[in-house]
Every structure is written in structure tokens, then in C-alpha cells.
Amino acid sequence: MVGEIWMLHRVVEHVSNVPEQQELEVTAIWLEQKILEYQRQGYTFVSIDNLPKRGRWVCLTFDDGYRDNYTIAYPLLKRLGVPFTVYVTSGFIDNRSPMWWYPDQQLGMSAEELRLLDLDPLCTIGAHTVSHPKLDTLTKAQQYKEIAESKQWLEQLLGHPIQHFSFPHGAHNDDTLAICRKLGFHTVVQSWGGPLRRGENPYPLPRINMTIK
Ligand SMILES: [Zn+2]
């Protein structure tokens, strides 16, 4: 048995020519081919809400809350019937705080787009802090604020509990894990670690960074 949790960010029509941005981008065509290739090999695509204990499966996740997750990835995944999770940095919604790695661009999803995604059972919304800091550089109180406020903001907008969390930059320490457990997150994911083997249910869960290269 092998389970793979894929980490993605942006889904675009054409990749950028800025190398640091390319690492965050896949094309819709590439993603569709990758999904079909795995389905041909017998993998099932599953939701983070229901990770299987056996079999071969893939769980698709997107970090940050880019608008293209709604405009480009969602129609593709809807057509293929593939479940997915979007981990939202609450400050990026409606572009209230900048994504500093994309200067002068407004790439965040709107609150309305987020609400529409959340209404589809194929999509699970998770939290990803308020401002996308490296959590292991913050005090425990600062970490608590970043994590709890993003969860509460999303719960207020969407009207239901938020049960999954992703560490920005994968960065975390023992305080982060204690806070996430205390806030009741069912799963937390990091940004590396490869596939899951039979019977494993770690906290945090490993992911595989999916890039075109
Ligand atoms: Zn992120």
C-alpha cells in the first residue's frame, strides 16, 4: 500500500519565466495527465477527510488560496470527479495582505469564490495561518494567534468547523503541533516526507511536492 499526499500551489495556463515562481506552478494539462496516469496505475483519488488505511491512493492538496485554484483547477477536478483540499492563508483572501513572493500581483481568491468552492463536497478547506509566517521563528503565543485566527476567520466565513491545517513553508516545532492538537485539527500536513506506508497515521502527515520539473 502506498498513499501519497500531493502538495501543489498554483495551476496556470502557462508557466512563468521566473524560476522561483515556476516551482509553485503546474499547468492544467500537466495536472490532468498526472491524474490520469495515476488512475491508470490503479490509484484512487481521496479526500483528506477520509484517508484510507489500505490500497493505493492520492490526496490532492493546494496551499495558500490562489484564485487559479478556483478558476482553473476546480473546473478540471470537477470534470474528473477528483476530491481536493485548499489550505487557505486567510489574509490572502480578497488580497488584504500581499503574497510577497508575487510582487505587484493580486492572486488571492475572493471570499465569494472560497465560499463557492466550500459548497462543493469535492472540496475541503483547511487553514494555513493569517499571514504565512515561518511558525518555528515565532513565540508560542504568536503561533497560537496565527493558527487560531486563521481557523476562526474561515469558520466564520464558511459556517462550519475547519479540521485541517498546513504549515506555511513546512516550518513547525513542538509548540506548533501542541497548538494544532489543542485547536482540534484532525490532520496537519508538512511540505516534505514522501509517501505513507501501511497503517501509518502520523501528525504531521508527509506530503510530496509536485512540480513539473
Ligand atoms: Zn503556503
Going from the Cα of 5 to the center of ligand 1, the distance in angstroms, rounded, reads 15
Domain holding 163, by residue range, is 2-209
CATH code at 73?
Answer: 3.20.20.370
Which pLDDT band, with edges at 50, 70 and 90, does 12 fall under? very high
How much of the chain, in percent, has pLDDT values that exceed 70?
100
pLDDT at 19 over 90: no
3-state secondary structure of 141: helix
pLDDT at 1 over 70: no
Going from the Cα of 39 to the center of ligand 1, the distance in angstroms, rounded, reads 27
Alpha-carbon torsion 133, 135, 137, 143, what sign? Answer: positive
Beta carbons within 8 Å of 110's beta carbon, 6+ residues apart: 67, 93, 94
Going from the Cα of 207 to the center of ligand 1, the distance in angstroms, rounded, reads 13
**How many domains, in total, are found in the chain?**
1
pLDDT at 165 over 70: yes
Going from the Cα of 200 to the center of ligand 1, the distance in angstroms, rounded, reads 25
What cell was used for 77? 477536478
Going from the Cα of 192 to the center of ligand 1, the distance in angstroms, rounded, reads 13
pLDDT on residue 100:
83
Going from the Cα of 76 to the center of ligand 1, the distance in angstroms, rounded, reads 22
pLDDT on residue 191:
96
Going from the Cα of 40 to the center of ligand 1, the distance in angstroms, rounded, reads 30
pLDDT on residue 71:
98
More confident residue, 179 or 20: 179
Going from the Cα of 23 to the center of ligand 1, the distance in angstroms, rounded, reads 12
In this prediction, residues 143-171 reach a mean pLDDT of 98
d(CA 55, CA 35): 16
3-state secondary structure of 31: helix
Q: What's phi and psi for 65, nearest 5 deg? A: 100, 45
- The CA-based angle 136-142-146, given to 5 degrees, is 90
Going from the Cα of 113 to the center of ligand 1, the distance in angstroms, rounded, reads 19
- Helix-strand-coil percent breakdown of the chain, rounded to 5? 40, 25, 35
pLDDT on residue 101:
85
Averaged confidence pLDDT in the chain:
95
In this prediction, residues 179-192 reach a mean pLDDT of 98
d(CA 125, CA 114): 8
How much of the chain, in percent, has pLDDT values that exceed 90?
86
d(CA 45, CA 151): 26
Q: What is the pLDDT of residues 97-151, one digit of tens each?
A: 888 888 888 999 999 999 999 999 999 999 999 999 999 999 999 999 999 999 9
Buried b (16+ CB within 10 A) or exposed e, 55-83: eebbbbbbbbbbbbbbebbbebbeeeebb
pLDDT at 198 over 80: no
Going from the Cα of 75 to the center of ligand 1, the distance in angstroms, rounded, reads 22
3-state secondary structure of 76: helix
pLDDT at 199 over 80: no
